[in-house]
Structures are given as structure tokens and as C-alpha cells.
Structure 1
Amino acid sequence: MNEQDYIHIYTQLILKSLKGTLEEVERDRLEDWLSQSQENRDFYERISQEHLLEEEMAFFSSIDSKGAFGKLKQHLPSSGKRENQEKKWWIRYAAAAAMLAVVIMGWGIYGGWLSIAPPTDQGTLATVDVEPGTDKAILILPDGEEILLEGAAEGTLKEDNGITVDKRLDQVIFNVRKDYTTPESKVNKIFVPKGGKYQVVLADGTKVWLNSASSLAFPSNFTGSSRTVTLKGEGYFEVAHDPEVPFIVQANDTEVKVLGTHFNINTYENEPLTKTTLLEGSVEVSHKDKSKVISPGEQALSNGQLSVSKIDTRQVVAWKDGLFMFKRTKLEDILRQLERWYAIKVSFDGDIPEKHFSGTISMDTNLSKVLGMLEMSGAIDFELKNGTVYVKNTTH
């Protein structure tokens, strides 16, 4: 067993013990580890007494464990007389402790139990913070009228010739009167800025969740032999089933054709690929002169070529449920997500650190706390100034 496997196994056992979810075999294994030395038991008891569990959030870094541990150690209280004695076993068990410590620190910061602010030393986070995004969007009607949905009262926003536009919570809903027969297709557009999310229910009953910095162009009423919309940015679709009239999403130079299904499309301009991920049903993805039918749990990647691979769909659509979910995700990919959700800019000082992170965190978390947890990798410092996050690679 290598060091990383060791860290992962005992981290999970300790966490499950703190949450009271250990099975009998796991409990025996943990007890065996605790009985191996007094140092192991001291560490477990010290962590247990901190009361830092928060089930709504778990964030851990599996990279540069010793560096992460070093940063956390600065914040943990010493025990006075035992300081020198403890120093030896803290160093000895740094690798195992670090991964667990990052989780515990993450929970503590998120839950508000720790009176620890992100570091404000030179090159790290400033005291200025950025709050998370909210439900907001701008609806542009066919006649050019713009409605700021965030500030609009709930109820009917517009009624015109058999088509009603309503707002309910964080949804804008298009309804068509049953006797509506006008064949003219009028195009609406909903734009979600950085720092926002919104949901729109189309005239056929299709539901669309739009992520930050995204837009959707769609008709007030679908007519003809297809239901066609145009997406920029990222959207999650739950398409109303209609075998006679296929639903088509145009996203840059990729086209997704469905009858009724659940899928996600990520087509941001600053992302290297257009990603179509299927959760339910089947879709046909076309890109240039190629096309492929994908099944649930698969993702089509299009950028000159068209390829299909298996994917963890939970990670892809976590944003819809208000979560950042990372699974060995590159730092640069994470920062692009933060740019959109917190409406900030990111600037790199030197090379982008080659780091990967795994974990889940609520999108309702303030930016400084997210960056503070990323800093626990021991290889990155952030400075937040005037809406820009400056990233410094500390490995050089």
C-alpha cells in the first residue's frame, strides 16, 4: 500500500467514526490503527474534541499533503506542556493528518465554528470578500422590452396575443393558450450574467436551468417540425417528450437533437471543448460532419473532433443543485467556475500550478472561504483586490 492509499483509507475511517457511520469491520480496522501507538490515539482524540463536523460540506485536497498540513498546523491550538512531545508525532504523522485536517478545516470554516479568517499576509487573501451569486437574469422579449427578473414581482410579467409570461420564485414561465393558432415564431432571449443562475420553462413544458454567464434564445411558441433553441454558456435541459417534434439545441457548432430527455451542455467560449452530458434518455450529438448517439452516463466532447466517454454525471450537473463538485479537477478549471459564479477576474503570477482537487462545497459560500481551502494545498497563495483574484504559485 502506498502512502496516498494509506492517507485515504484512514482519513475516511476517522471521518466516518466522527459522523457515527462506521460499520463493524471498519470499526475493527480503526481500533487496530488506534492501538498501534499512543500517538495515533492522541491525534484521533484531539481531532474528535474539536467538534468541527458539518455534513453540508466536505472539501479535501489529495495533493502536497505535507504542505497542506503545515498550513493547518499554524491554526491548531498547542497544548502547552506537551508541545515538544507532540511535535515529534505531528511530524511523523503529517501525511496522514494533512488530508484529514483539510477536511476538518473546510468544515469548520464553512460551518462558522472556527474564528479563523483566511490569512492576510503578503501575497495571500485580502480582507475584502465577495459574496456568492444569486438568482438573477434579464429577459428580452420579442418587441425589445427588457425585464430585470431579479427585481420583478411575482405574477404575470407580460400577456400578448395568447402568450403569457409569468414569474414564480426563480423561474420565468411561458404559457400558450390552447386556442393560440398564430404561426409566427417570435424569439425571446434570457441572459444570465456572471454571478447568477436562473430557470426558464418553455412553452412546450421543457425546463432549462441556466448557469452563470449564459443565455438562451427561444421562441414564444414552438411551431413547425422541430423545437429549436440556441444556447451560449451552460444549460441543463429537461425536455418535454414529443416524439413528433424533436427538440434541438444549437450550441456553437454543435447540435443536440432529442425527443424527450435530461442532459447538460457546457459550451462556454473560454472552455476548450463543448461538452454534452446525458443523464436520461438518448440524444444525437452532431458536430461538423460527424454525429453520435450517446447513452445515459456518457459525455460527448466536440472541438474539431467528436468523441464519447463515460462520465460522473453528478459532478457535471452539481451546479444546478447549488454545489461545486470537483473530482481531481485542475486548478485552472476550478478558477474558471469561480470567475463566473463570483463575477470576478483571475490573474496568474507565473505558471498555473499543476494541482488537482477533489471535494464538494456549497455555492452559497463566500469567495474567501473557498480560496482559503484551496490555499490549504500548500502550493498556492491568493490575493483578492478590486474584484480580481491574483494567483501565486508558491512552489517556485
Structure 2
Amino acid sequence: MDERKIKEELTVKFITGEISEEEREVLLQWIDASEANFEYFRELKESWDLLGLCQEETTSYNAEGSWKQFRQSVSSGSPLVKKTHFKVHRKAEQKHFSWIKIASMIGLLFVSGWGLYYFNTLEIQEEAGVQWVTKYNPAGSKSNFYLADGTEVKLNAESSLRYPEKFTGKNRSVYLEGEAFFDVKRDTLMPFIIRAGNTRTQVLGTSFSISAYPEENVTSVALATGKVQVNIEGESPLEIHLIPGEKAVYQRISNELGKRPFDPDKEFGWRIGNLVFEEDGMTEIVKKLSRWYGVTIHLENPQNREVLINTSYSQQALEAVLKSLSYSLNFNYQIKGKEVWITMF
């Protein structure tokens, strides 16, 4: 099997969360080796998103059926960039799907040449010869570091930031997946640009946070100081400007962009070790706990009713948080290493 085919399969494993730490390191090293590798990885990732494959609770995928639909849409003259004609087929009794078939299908998409035009239209012009670095935090891990221009970055768990070793050209561009807080070094001649999916945030010198986890429907930008311009790229582009204390909220499915005030203690609390729940139901609570503590949570007997929680925990151990939440949400729990079982009653 050639190297590119192997990297396609590792990319699919990365997206679906099935990749091991060793495989993740191999993939990240390959991505950082050259701009061509990164662009190929990004195109695979974006085509996956366009095909509608990267959705929460995906357990079974009909590769042959979706490929047939894709070929029919191409034959009818419907461009891939306009609409997504692919559906995910869920089966509760199945826990795995054939990522090898999916990797093969995505590879065929690029061999055939379909879809390449769309991605090329979203390219950022980057200086040749610049070495790029990818910083990734797994679940349960956070980090703090500085970019070459003096910008400070606080990167949350299950998040990655791709940035150049040094900034050249007309702007300072970085790529984010997940959540991060930026304290940007001011440079009026060289705007700082963060791309997260189809969201483009541009600043000169300011501090703000971005939350853009690929599996979630909402992308948000919360401004602490300075000014920020947020753009949503695509068929129906959107733009909004923020002042301190305002938060831009983008709903990906409905393509709606708005803004509202926010509580800085809740929005930025994760930077100082505060686990915050704000109008969160059980589904979101499980997701945050898994990400915060780096554990796998099995939810048994989920209830139809959704109790919303507003609370926070500062530097608390997992068991202490579960014990507290169990009183409000009525559940029993059991912790075994890196796995947690929650039974609702």
C-alpha cells in the first residue's frame, strides 16, 4: 500500500476518533512535512465534512450507496460545492463502520478530480518554504504557548492549532479545530487571521476565544478586548463585528450568524481550570466531561426529559464532579480507569 493511501486511512481514523496516539503522531509528522501534505489532508477532511460523514453518533456508513448517489449527482451536472447529497445510516446495534471503504471512496473522489475546484477557491495564499507546526491536545489536556509574533495561545482539550514557525507575507494566518483563547500581539500592518472550518476571524491586536469543534453545530467567537471581524465563507457569506463583551454565534446547519452578550467568567473559565456548565443537558454534560477529563463515558438508560444545568467546578476531580451532578440529574455512576458508566434512573 502506497504512502498516500496509508495517510488517507489515518486521516479517516483521525476524524472518527479511532486513531491511536502512535498513529496520530505519524499523521501529524506527515502533515507538517510539506505544504502539499497539509493541503491534501485538509481537502480530505473538508470533503468528509461536505459528504455529511462527520456527524455525532455515526455508527454505520453505507459507502456503496452514498458513492452511487455521488456519481448520480455528478452525472446530472449537480456540483458537489452546491449541495450535499449524502446521508449517514445509523444502526444502534453496530458500533463500527468500514473506515477503509470510506477512505477508498474519498480517495476516488480526488482521483476523479471532482470537488477540487471548490477547495481551491478557499485557499489561503501562503509563503513557500515556511515550516508549519501542528499543536494538538488530546482529551484531558490543555496547553499554553506563544507564536513567533508574541501572540499567546491557550489551547483547550481535544483541540489543534496549525501555525507557521514564523509569519511572512501580508497576514498572520493560523488554523484551529476545537477551542482556544488568543491574546494577539498588535500589528496594524499584518492582520491576524484564524480559520476554523468556514469561519474566518480577523483581528489586529486583541484578546478573544474561539470554540469550533468539528462535531458540533455551533461555532462561537467571544471578545474580551479590542475589535474582531467574523466572516462566514460559502455560498451565502455572512459578516459581523464585535466589541468587548459580545459573542458571535454561528449555527452551521441553518447558516445563521448573530451576536449576544456573555459572562466572561463562564466563557473564559476553562483557562484557569473551571469546568463550566451553562444551560447544558445530559448529552452536552457527557461530552464536556469526556473532553475535560480524557475519559470514555457510557450513558445507560438515557431519559427523555432533559434537565438543564447551570454550575461550575474549579479544579475538581472527576469523581467529585460526578457525585455532585448525580444528585441533580438522578444517576448512578461507576469509574473504571479511563471509562465511566452512568446509569440514569
* TM-score for both structures, normalised by structure 2: 0.59
Give yes or no for contact 2:326–2:332 (8 Å, CA) kept in 1: yes
Give the 3-state SS of the residue equivalent to 2:174 in structure 1: strand
Cα 1:190–1:378 change in 2 (3 A) is closer
Give yes or no for contact 1:207–1:239 (8 Å, CA) kept in 2: yes
Q: What whole-Å deviation, never above 9, does each CA across 1:33-54 have from its counterpart, x for those lacking one?
A: xxxxxxxxxxxxxxxxxxxxxx
Structure 2 matches for 1:298-313, cutoff 5 A? 298-302=246-250, 303=252, 304-313=255-264
CA distance in 2, matches of 1:378, 1:357: 9
CA distance in 1, matches of 2:265, 2:313: 13
Q: 2:330 aligns with which of 379, 382, 391?
A: 379
Structure 2 matches for 1:338-357, cutoff 5 A? 338-352=289-303, 354-357=306-309
Give the length in aligned residue pairs.
220
Give yes or no for contact 1:206–1:240 (8 Å, CA) kept in 2: yes
CA distance in 2, matches of 1:313, 1:335: 23
Is 1:286 the counterpart of 2:231? The answer is yes
Cα drift, residue 331 of structure 1 = 3.1
Cα drift, residue 326 of structure 1 = 2.9
Q: Which structure is higher in RCO with an 8 Å CA cutoff and minimum separation 6?
A: 1
Which segments of 5 or more consecutive residues in structure 2 lack a partner in the other structure?
1-23, 35-126
Matched with 1:247 is: 192
Give the 3-state SS of the residue equivalent to 1:370 in structure 2: helix
Is 1:314 the counterpart of 2:265? The answer is yes
Matched with 2:201 is: 256
CA distance in 1, matches of 2:298, 2:32: 38
Matched with 2:166 is: 221
Matched with 1:276 is: 221
Structure 2 matches for 1:181-220, cutoff 5 A? 184-220=129-165
Is 1:369 the counterpart of 2:317? The answer is no
Give yes or no for contact 2:139–2:294 (8 Å, CA) kept in 1: yes
Give the 3-state SS of the residue equivalent to 1:208 in structure 2: strand
CA distance in 2, matches of 1:231, 1:183: 21
Is 1:237 the counterpart of 2:166? The answer is no
Matched with 2:245 is: 297
Counterpart amino acid of 2:192? F
CA distance in 2, matches of 1:274, 1:260: 21
* TM-score for both structures, normalised by structure 1: 0.52
Q: What whole-Å deviation, never above 9, does each CA across 1:345-365 have from its counterpart, x for those lacking one?
A: 2222233551222333123x2
Matched with 2:310 is: 358
Counterpart amino acid of 1:308? K
Counterpart amino acid of 1:361? Y
Counterpart amino acid of 1:314? D
Q: What whole-Å deviation, never above 9, does each CA across 1:243-270 have from its counterpart, x for those lacking one?
A: 1110000001111000111111111123
Matched with 1:51 is: none
Matched with 2:85 is: none
Cα drift, residue 239 of structure 1 = 0.4
More displaced, 322-331 or 298-307? 322-331
Quick check: which one's strand share is greater? 1
CA distance in 1, matches of 2:203, 2:148: 17
Cα 1:254–1:378 change in 2 (3 A) is closer
Is 1:330 the counterpart of 2:281? The answer is yes
Give the 3-state SS of the residue equivalent to 2:309 in structure 1: strand
Q: What whole-Å deviation, never above 9, does each CA across 1:355-388 have from its counterpart, x for those lacking one?
A: 222333123x221111000011162222334533
CA distance in 2, matches of 1:350, 1:248: 44
CA distance in 1, matches of 2:239, 2:279: 29
Give yes or no for contact 1:254–1:287 (8 Å, CA) kept in 2: yes
Give yes or no for contact 1:230–1:250 (8 Å, CA) kept in 2: yes
Give yes or no for contact 1:183–1:223 (8 Å, CA) kept in 2: no
Cα drift, residue 197 of structure 1 = 0.6
Q: CA RMSD in A?
A: 2.3
Which segments of 5 or more consecutive residues in structure 1 lack a partner in the other structure?
1-136, 145-181
CA distance in 1, matches of 2:203, 2:145: 18
CA distance in 1, matches of 2:200, 2:283: 27
Matched with 2:95 is: none
Cα 1:347–1:184 change in 2 (3 A) is same
CA distance in 1, matches of 2:128, 2:160: 25
